[in-house]
Amino acid sequence: MSGSKSVYVGIDIGSVSANTVVLDENRNILEEHYTRTKGEPLETALAILAELIEKYGKSRIRLVATTGSGGKLIAPLIGAGFTNEVIAQARATETFHPEARTVVEMGGQDAKLIFLAPEGADGKLRIADFQMNSVCAAGTGSFLDQQAYRLGLTIEEFGSLALKSKHPPRVAGRCSVFAKSDMIHLQQIATPDYDIVAGLCYAVARNFKATIGKGKEFLTPVAFQGGVAANLGVRKAFKDVLELEDKDYIIPAHFCSMGALGAVYTCLDMGKALDGFKGVDELKSFLASGRTKERSLEKLSKPEGHPSERRSATGYTLETGKKIPAYLGIDVGSTSTNVILIDRADLAHNREVSRDSQAPAGRDKEGHNLGSRRMRRLRGRRRRRHDRLRQVPLGRLPRRGHYKKRDNGPGNSGSRDRPRG
Do 317 and 352 lie in one domain? The reply is: yes
What's the pLDDT tens digit per position in 47-93?
999 999 999 999 999 999 999 989 999 999 999 999 999 999 999 99
Q: Report the pLDDT value the prediction gives residue 367, as an integer from 0 to 100.
A: 37
- Residue 159's pLDDT is 84
Would you say residue 406 lies in a domain? no
Check residue 105 and give its pLDDT. Answer: 94
Residues 134 and 234 in one domain: yes
Please give the tally of structural domains in the chain.
3
Backbone angles phi, psi at 83, to 5 degrees: -130, 135
pLDDT for the residue 318: 62
Closest Cα to residue 249, out of 397, 126, 100? 100
> Containing domain of residue 274, as a range?
7-97+258-292
Residues 135 and 238 in one domain: yes
Supply the pLDDT for residue 420: 46
**37 and 88 part of one domain:** yes
- The pLDDT of residue 346 is 61
Q: Within a domain: residue 361?
A: yes
- Please check whether residue 402 lies inside any domain of the structure: no
Together in a domain, 44 and 91: yes
Can you give the pLDDT at residue 366? 39
Q: What integer pLDDT is reported at residue 403 of this predicted model?
A: 44
Domain assignment present for 300? no
User: Has residue 420 been placed in a domain?
Assistant: no
- Whole-number pLDDT of residue 56: 94
Any domain includes 319: yes
pLDDT value at position 110? 86
Q: Tell me what the pLDDT averaged over the chain comes to.
A: 80
32 and 13 in a common domain: yes
Point out the residues of the chain with pLDDT beneath 70.
1-3, 135-139, 291-297, 305-319, 333-336, 345-421
Query: Which CATH number do you get for residue 146?
Result: 3.30.420.40
